[in-house]
């Protein structure tokens, strides 16, 4: 039995009579399973449907069609059991300003009928770097500290499935390192983790398997290693203040002064360099790297939404992913 099962999920928001907006299909027949013990990444640009899918999983929205199950419990018809198996860290910083950090965790424990949860709360506070803030009022915490508390609240009932919706958005490096160390430890203990993030280097480092959404549809569902192996072999990186020649400008990914050009092999790299020299482009700090997940992501998102661009895993592959 999978830890999470999304079965033909569609979500259509009705037309708005006020501004004449047509119906919006936020999700279109989304189906995939996440096996127990997986560290699974859900990626996609803004508006792809990630938050809508998480909202349906959490019971905050109802799917137009399809079903979502958590350890076999339907999130609509078996909500109580599904929720007991699920811990969700939302994007928004939602907190009660009248409680201290420890009080917030004690109250959260009570929602799940846990009355003697002190030792686990202490472990959460220590593991997430909140021990010295246990008696601090929630209003006194920085944004990063509030996000740590949200993580602790999601984990207070020891859920077997942990959902992290953009958990490190806008937080410092220290929190990111602390959070991933703690969550990776829980994953090694057997907890299933579903992560949505725009930090693709995090997804590449942490996730055994990935699904990519575009315009509400799954366009890729595969092991991270397979997606990377199917990508362009190399990427030519350099810095420049010069304009690229038209023949390269359409291929390049430019971030400030940094240019990344995909290349299938040494011959194409030399061809790129020759065109740069011919155009008088002054390239600095030139280096060649293997394609990373950002390169794969951009390549997939630039294509048409015609279905999955990569094959789904076989049953044997799923077993490998769950134990990877």
* Domains along the chain with CATH numbers: 4-85+159-229+297-323 (3.40.50.300), 234-290 (no CATH)
Tell me the C-alpha distance between 258 and 197, whole Å: 23
**The predicted structure's pLDDT at residue 5:** 96
Tokens 């059991």 appear where?
A: 81
**The predicted structure's pLDDT at residue 297:** 87
CA 109 to mean position of chain CA atoms: 26
Contact partners, residue 213, CB within 8 Å, separation at least 6? 30, 42, 43, 44, 48, 49, 50, 53, 219
Contact partners, residue 170, CB within 8 Å, separation at least 6? 143
* Residue 238, H or E segment: strand 234-239
Q: Tell me the H-state helices in 73-220.
A: 79-84, 101-111, 118-127, 143-155, 173-188, 200-206
What DSSP string runs through 297-319? HHHHHTS--SS-SSPPPPHHHHH
Q: Are strands 192-196 and 209-214 parallel, antiparallel or unpaired?
A: unpaired
User: 234: which DSSP letter?
Assistant: E
Please report, in tens digits, the pLDDT of each residue of the chain (324 residues total): 899 999 999 999 887 666 667 788 899 999 999 999 999 999 999 889 999 999 999 999 999 999 999 999 999 999 999 999 999 998 877 778 889 999 999 999 998 888 889 999 999 999 998 999 999 998 888 888 888 899 999 999 999 999 999 888 777 788 788 889 999 999 999 999 999 988 888 999 999 999 999 999 999 999 998 888 877 678 898 999 988 998 898 888 888 899 988 887 888 899 999 999 999 998 899 988 887 888 788 878 876 655 544 433 333 333 343 334
The number of beta carbons lying within 10 Å of the beta carbon of residue 110 is 12
**The predicted structure's pLDDT at residue 20:** 65
Q: Are strands 217-223 and 253-255 parallel, antiparallel or unpaired?
A: unpaired
Tell me the C-alpha distance between 23 and 222, whole Å: 31
Sheet with strand 161-165: strands edge to edge: 86-89, 161-165, 192-196, 39-43, 209-214, 217-223
Contact partners, residue 261, CB within 8 Å, separation at least 6? 235, 236, 237, 248, 251, 252, 253, 272
């Amino acid at each position: 039995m999978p830890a999470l099962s999304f079965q033909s999920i569609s979500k259509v928001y009705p037309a708005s009579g006020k501004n004449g907006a047509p119906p919006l299909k936020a999700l279109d027949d989304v189906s995939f399973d996440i096996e127990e013990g997986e560290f699974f990444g859900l990626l996609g640009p803004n508006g792809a449907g990630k938050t809508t899918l998480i909202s349906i999983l959490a019971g905050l929205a109802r799917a137009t069609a399809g079903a979502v199950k958590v350890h076999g419990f339907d999130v609509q018809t078996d909500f109580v059991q599904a929720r007991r198996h699920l811990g969700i860290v939302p994007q928004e910083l939602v907190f009660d300003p009248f409680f201290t950090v420890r009080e917030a965790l004690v109250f959260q424990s009570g929602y799940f009928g846990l009355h003697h949860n002190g030792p686990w709360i202490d472990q959460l506070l220590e593991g997430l770097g909140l021990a010295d803030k246990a008696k601090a009022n929630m209003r006194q915490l920085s944004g990063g500290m509030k996000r740590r508390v949200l993580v602790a609240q999601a984990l207070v009932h020891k859920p077997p499935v942990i959902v992290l919706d953009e958990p490190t958005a806008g937080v410092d490096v220290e929190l990111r390192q602390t959070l991933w160390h703690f969550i990776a430890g829980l994953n090694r203990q057997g907890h299933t983790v579903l992560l949505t993030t725009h930090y693709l280097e995090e997804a590449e480092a942490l996730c055994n398997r990935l699904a990519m959404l575009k315009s509400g549809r799954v366009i890729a569902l595969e092991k991270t290693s397979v997606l990377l192996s199917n990508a362009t072999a190399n990427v030519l990186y350099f810095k420049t203040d010069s304009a690229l020649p038209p023949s390269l400008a359409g291929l390049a990914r430019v971030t400030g002064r940094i240019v990344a050009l995909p290349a299938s092999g040494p011959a194409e790299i030399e061809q790129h360099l020759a065109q740069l020299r011919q155009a008088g482009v002054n390239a600095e700090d030139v280096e060649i790297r293997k394609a990373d997940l950002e390169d794969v992501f951009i390549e997939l998102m630039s294509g048409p939404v015609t279905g999955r661009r990569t094959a789904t895993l076989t049953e044997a592959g799923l077993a490998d992913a769950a134990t990877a």
